[in-house]
Structure 1
Amino acid sequence: MSVTTAEPAAADPREVRLTVLGSAGAVPTRAEPCSGYLLECAGYRLILDLGYAAYPALLRHCGPEHIDAVLISHRHPDHVADLSPFLRARAFLRELNLPPVPLHAPPEALDPVLGLDRPDFIGDPYTVHAIEAPNTFHLGPFQVDTVELPHYEPNIGFRISTGGITVAYTGDSGPAEQLVALAENADLFLAQAMYTTEVPERDRGNMCSAVDAGRFATRAGVDELMLTHLYLMRGVTPEAAKAAARTTYRGPITVARTGLVWSRRIKQTT
């Protein structure tokens, strides 16, 4: 089998770079995959979630063989479904003799998606590492601090730091004091904002609005807020979400969309 995926673009080893693979909440749209993010530094490539349609988006930036590890926030398919084609592709690139890719996720979060393929069919292209919160571990150049956040399923937020740069990612979460600790003084707060101003009663406590995201960004003193997981299929628009977040946060606000790249030069070397 020949490798037909993209070669990764050369990255400045002195910067941290986040590429949005997808940001739609619940289901993808024609133009926007579900949650998926590629975080890079010093040649190390880490995936944060890989929901519906995020794998084809990854291929525009690099092939599956270039990924060093995967972090999954929780088991909902809009955050984990495309782990299946990702792992199948790595397994089928047998001529590259790839090592098993480490998958880090809450206990049992990966069971449904890993059960889609028979082990005797794809072999063993991964190792599973159950993560708890609070905890701290290292992946390549990154220190990962975990924070448990409220959701329908066990959900872990990630505070990822290297070279004096910190990216905080919520996965899915309702409003909670833990969000302040997760995002404290972060350079980028990648925050779920399913709704604009009001969260419907059925989702209250388990989802945030853009207003909520802005409020916690202000309390945490973050440098920049990036809204993600918008309920696009229900008409939540980037413009409305940004305007809502602006009522509670005065710093820079962006809305995640596939292909968007955020980067910062590292502040210190180790």
Structure 2
Amino acid sequence: MSSLTVLGSSGAYPQPHNPCSGYLLEHDGFTVAIDLGYGTVGRLLEYLPDGAVDAVVITHEHADHCTDLHALMRVRLYGHPEGARIPLFCTEGVVKRVNGLDTGEGLSQAFDIHPWPETVRIGPFELTPFELPHHVPNFGVRLSAPGLTLAYTGDTGPSPALAELGRDADVFVVNAMDQGPPPGPSGNLLLTATDAGRAAHDAGARRLVLTHLWPGADPAVSITEARAGFAGVITAPVAGDVIALGPA
């Protein structure tokens, strides 16, 4: 079976039982960590005690999406120094931000770093980045393998590129930070739940997963708002939830 395990889905800062953005995709025996925000590596180690994912993808340099990349580096460097370096796909901003948390040689000690943007092959997947509007460079990612396509926005505002990112995806994981109308000047650089529903509809996605909800937001309200634009399956999972993706 293939699966998407939620390591965390809280926007901005972690909640007591729900870290920030992070997902573990497993397909055909290959594992990919997608974003590693505050608190996610503790969850990751519940599934992979040595932290030995086959690849890591980080969408952008905001701390609630990348800080625990540093934690995973330490797990690998100090706990399992004999392990091979893990392929890491991220922006240059992520490398600079995370390396600034420590002294020494930084992420290159534990990771084989590949900067965006380019389409690459990792394990069974074709990994394609899509540049999306945000406060810093952000790349949504589309991971396609025979019989499975998963798309993930990272953080973004409304963009025509969302339709191509999520085109016919089995699962479209979309940031839905806000409920109701955009809250102010920054609203066009983050999506509302209503925006997320429209994006999934325009893409023709089969399933919409809402993520990055504001802490304390009622997921049922976000799902209802997303339903106005999308008639398919909608969920708003939290850490520990596992989404079955069908046979590999």
Pair in the same fold by TM > 0.5 = yes
TM-score (norm 1): 0.87
Counterpart residue number, 1:263: 244
**Equivalence map 1:35-50=2 (5 Å):** 35-50=21-36
TM-score (norm 2): 0.95
**Displacement, 1:266?**
4.6
Q: Deviations over 1:162-201 (max 9, x none)?
A: 1221000000000111000000100000000001221211
- 3-state DSSP of counterpart to 1:37: strand
Q: In the alignment, does 2:97 pair up with 1:112? A: yes
Counterpart residue number, 1:244: 225
- Cα distance in 2 for residues equivalent to 1:58 and 1:65: 7
**Equivalence map 1:207-246=2 (5 Å):** 207-232=190-215, 235-246=216-227
Counterpart residue number, 1:137: 120
- 3-state DSSP of counterpart to 1:84: helix
**Displacement, 1:121?**
8.9
- Cα distance in 2 for residues equivalent to 1:244 and 1:120: 46
- 3-state DSSP of counterpart to 1:190: strand
Q: In the alignment, does 2:11 pair up with 1:25? A: yes
Q: Structure 1 counterpart of 2:243, which letter? A: W
- Cα distance in 1 for residues equivalent to 2:33 and 2:121: 14
Counterpart residue number, 2:58: 72
Q: Structure 2 counterpart of 1:166, which letter? A: T
Counterpart residue number, 2:160: 177
Contact 2:99 2:106 in 1 (8 A): no
Counterpart residue number, 1:98: 83
**Displacement, 1:31?**
1.6
Contact 1:64 1:86 in 2 (8 A): no
Q: 1:120 to 1:210 in 2, by over 3 A?
A: closer
**Displacement, 1:119?**
2.4
**Displacement, 1:106?**
1.5
Contact 1:38 1:45 in 2 (8 A): yes
**Displacement, 1:256?**
2.2
Contact 2:138 2:154 in 1 (8 A): yes
- Runs of 5+ unmatched residues, structure 2: none
- Cα distance in 2 for residues equivalent to 1:105 and 1:142: 16
Q: How many residues align?
A: 248
Counterpart residue number, 1:59: 45
Q: In the alignment, does 2:180 pair up with 1:197? A: yes
Contact 1:165 1:266 in 2 (8 A): no
Q: 1:123 to 1:38 in 2, by over 3 A?
A: closer
Counterpart residue number, 1:8: none
**Displacement, 1:120?**
5.9
